[in-house]
Amino acid sequence: DIQLTQSPSFLSASVGDRVTITCRASQGISSYLAWYQQKPGKAPKLLIYAASTLQSGVPSRFSGSGSGTEFTLTISSLQPEDFATYYCQQLNSYPPGFGQGTKLEIK
Amino acid sequence: EVQLLESGGGLVQPGGSLRLSCAASGFTFSSYAMSWVRQAPGKGLEWVSAISGSGGSTYYADSVKGRFTISRDNSKNTLYLQMNSLRAEDTAVYYCAKGGSSVTARSLVLDYWGQGTLVTVSS
């Protein structure tokens, strides 16, 4: 199975900051990676797929990049509603597992 | 508007069974793969199972293979997860999610999710 490791696991930042979350795959997955946002008590929400394609309706301050084994999710200017937990998911092969999550907290 | 509504969760004893349902609306249900993803209390997301639009192809995580069965009734726009031989470690919120037009892993981007249903396995 392909393992995904996110870093950092916890991130403290302020409104207006630029933040980057990294997701590393244990083997190459081309661009078959998605990013999700989850707020407490809510279902995950798709942000980005195919490593860099923004899902419809997602603000343009979110962006994704990478291919192969290293990927990043960047939020260009944090807004109050962005404080949440973020997960990457590999879609190269079954099982389509998730990273362990990155919790983004308000500083 | 796409809507997914899970039901069927609850408290069950170890070794027991439960069937989850997910009622779908707002899209052509039979044209899309569907998936179940779970989240244990305070933990991350774990993919559980997926099924093709026709129901002819299914996939499972090793942790549930042989105990859980995914199925769908396209005439009722409903997805199911039959869970047998339940263990304490199956305790989680179970989400159904809509995938792509194919059940290949590469098409399993989960673009809509239900609100989840809680399954608690305890004596």
pLDDT in tens, B22-67: 999 999 999 999 999 999 999 999 999 999 999 999 999 999 999 9
Closest residue, chain B, to A40 (C-alpha): B42
Task: Calculate how close chain B gets to A85, using CA atoms only, in Å.
Answer: 9
CB–CB contact A43 B108 (8 Å) = no
Task: Calculate how close chain A gets to B115, using CA atoms only, in Å.
Answer: 6
Tokens of B33: 């793969």
pLDDT at residue A107, rounded to an integer:
87
Distance CA B42, CA A40 (A): 10
Tell me, what DSSP letter sits at residue A98?
B
* pLDDT level of residue B103 (50, 70, 90 thresholds): confident
> CA angle, B39 as apex, B35 and A78 as ends, to 5°?
95
pLDDT at residue A63, rounded to an integer:
98
CB–CB contact A98 B113 (8 Å) = no
CB–CB contact B108 A93 (8 Å) = no
C-alpha pair distances (Å), A67 with each of A27, A34, A97: 11, 12, 17
Query: Would you give per-residue pLDDT tens digits along chain A (107 residues)?
Result: 999 999 999 999 999 999 999 999 999 999 999 999 999 999 999 999 999 999 999 999 999 999 999 999 999 999 999 999 999 999 999 999 999 999 999 88
Residue type at position B47: W
Identity of the residue in A43, A87, A96 whose CB atom sits nearest the CB atom of B108: A96
Any A CB within 8 A of B115 CB: yes
* Residues 6+ positions from B25 with CB-CB distance below 8 Å: B2, B3, B77
CB–CB contact A44 B110 (8 Å) = yes
Distance of CA B16 to the CA centre of its chain: 18
CB–CB contact B45 A92 (8 Å) = no
Residue that is written with structure tokens 């500083």 in the block: A107
Distance CA B81, CA B9 (A): 11
Q: Report phi then psi at B9, rounded to 5.
A: -70, 170
pLDDT at residue B105, rounded to an integer:
86
In the three-class reduction of DSSP (H, G, I as helix; E, B as strand; rest coil), residue A33 is classed as strand
Chain B CB contacts of A94 below 8 Å: 50, 59, 105
pLDDT at residue A11, rounded to an integer:
96
* pLDDT level of residue B91 (50, 70, 90 thresholds): very high
Tokens of B14: 């170890």
Closest residue, chain B, to A93 (C-alpha): B105
pLDDT in tens, B70-86: 999 999 999 999 999 99
CB–CB contact B110 A93 (8 Å) = no
